[in-house]
Amino acid sequence: MGAVLLAAVLVLVAVVTMAPTEEERLAGSAGSMEAIARSLREGDELAGRTVGNLAFERVFRENGLVYFEQGQGRLGDRAYGYVWSPLVRPRNVEHVEGPWYAYTDLED
């Protein structure tokens, strides 16, 4: 029984340590996300979907920026995800790479 438990723990550790990081998942998904971002018009919104290796609750274009919203936080009051902005740096975001920024609760 002890050997089975040890093997299970080792498999779990291997899976966790070998899983791609959020940055790696974004890098692998960015091309597909950009294709969606370029296709959306102002005011367009898409329901939940998986793009590449990332899941989103909704994707929408607002004020020229395209938001890939991943969730609403624990209390449902703090939206978070990525925003695509190839021309300007949006306010209150963290630059990730290229035209991609991470956001949490963009409300002023």
* Inside any domain, residue 31: yes
* Inside any domain, residue 41: yes
* Inside any domain, residue 10: no
Mean pLDDT of the chain, nearest integer:
81
Q: What percent of the chain has pLDDT over 90?
A: 46
CA atoms within 13 A on the CB side of 40: 25
Domain tally for the chain? Answer: 1
* Inside any domain, residue 13: no
Strands 45-51 and 65-71: what pairing? unpaired
Query: What range defines the domain where residue 29 resides?
Result: 20-104
* Inside any domain, residue 2: no
Cα distance between residue 93 and residue 103, in whole Å: 5
Q: What is the pLDDT of residue 14?
A: 52
* Inside any domain, residue 5: no
Q: Which helix (H) or strand (E) holds 29?
A: helix 22-39
**Which of the four pLDDT bands, split at 50, 70 and 90, describes residue 19?**
low
* Inside any domain, residue 95: yes
Q: What is the pLDDT of residue 29?
A: 81
User: pLDDT tens, 26-75?
Assistant: 777 888 989 999 999 999 999 988 998 889 999 999 999 999 999 876 66
